[in-house]
Amino acid sequence: MTPRRASAWVAALGIVAAVGLVAALGLAAAGCSSTPSSDPAAALRRAQSMTPADARLAGLYAQSCKACHTAADSGAPLAGDAAAWGPRWAKGLPALLTSTVGGVGGMPPGGQCFACSAADYETLIRFMADHPS
């Protein structure tokens, strides 16, 4: 890689990191903890029983999303919990993707899904928020 190309790459990473940081701070200020469901026990049971139909996505979900999005005390919105996902979904899928890629609250960047593509993130977010395409 030439020095000029490396410099451009580093500058692009800086912009991506800045956008992710701004989005994460905005979501943190808006309150990133789970909104309680009207029936927390039912929401937890539903979250723990959900699995993506696609085997590849189910594997990514099991490795990277499931530990937090099926644990009531993690601070992450439970998979399938409309009360928790509603305010997040209202901000739009692009904001959710930015938060996922950049990390937000206790979630590390990308949810530590090193094999996820942007399309995988979108599909997994839609799955967990119960908003199929």
Supply the CATH number for residue 26's domain. 1.10.760.10
Give the integer Cα–Cα distance in Å for 12 and 4.
12
pTM for this model (two decimals): 0.71
Phi, psi of 104, rounded to the nearest 5 degrees? -155, 140
Q: What does the mean pLDDT of the chain come to? A: 81
The one-character DSSP state at 112 is: G
Domain coverage including residue 47: 3-129
The pair of structure tokens assigned to 14 is 């800086």
How many domains are there within the chain? 1
Per residue in 65-102, pLDDT (tens digit) is 999 999 999 999 999 999 999 999 999 999 999 999 99
